[in-house]
Amino acid sequence: GFIFFGLINVKGNPHVIEYNARLGDPETESILPRIETDLMDMFLAGIESRLTDFKIKISPQHAVSVMLVAGGYPEAYEKGHEITIPQKTDCIVLHAGTKLIDNKIVTNGGRVMAVTNLGNTLDEALEAAMKAARDIKFENKYFRTDIGFDLK
């Protein structure tokens, strides 16, 4: 299982804002890409009581995830807006609140997509994730532009 602590930086001091026994968004999108070990091997080791000797390999790279959300989120969010995604991106784009209608991807939830990038530095990962987030287009899209800056 997981025990996850959500922290916020307040004037240089960490404060717990939540804790969970699961991963949520965007934690999952930032943590899983850094795990280089095959997840199925990890699950099997747990099932077979082999975790004592199991080694997990974690990438030393930094990961940044940006959630693209629909206008009105988290309350009455808008649906049905066509999404345009660039043909090439080095980022991982995970669909959350999307739907395929007439061969077009449209918004269908509050949290529409997560854009994740790995980089050798936090700045590198952040810059690429933010660029990809800006390049994906749909009506009334918004996302936080302050993600990662409290770590500098």
pLDDT cut 90: percent of the chain above it: 73
- Structure letter (DSSP) for residue 2: -
Model pLDDT for residues 82-110, shown as the tens digit of each residue = 999 998 888 999 999 999 999 999 999 99
- Check if the beta carbon of residue 97 is closer than 8 Å to that of residue 112: yes
Model pLDDT for residues 1-17, shown as the tens digit of each residue = 678 888 888 898 999 99
Q: Which of 24-28, 37-41, 96-100, 134-138 has the lowest mean pLDDT?
A: 24-28
Residue holding tokens 């999404």? 83
Encoded tokens for 92: 């991982």
The rounded mean pLDDT for the chain is 91
Encoded tokens for 78: 């808008």
Encoded tokens for 26: 């965007």
Q: In which band, very low, low, confident or very high, does the pLDDT at 150 lie, cut at 50, 70 and 90?
A: low
The region that residue 96 occupies, defined by phi over 0 for left and psi between -120 and 50 for alpha, beta otherwise, is alpha
Structure confidence at residue 47 (pLDDT): 95
Encoded tokens for 13: 């001091």
Q: Which of 16-25, 105-114, 137-146: highest mean pLDDT?
A: 105-114
Classified as helix, coil or strand, 25 is coil
Structure confidence at residue 5 (pLDDT): 84
Contacts of 2 (CB under 8 A, 6+ apart): 20, 21, 22, 23
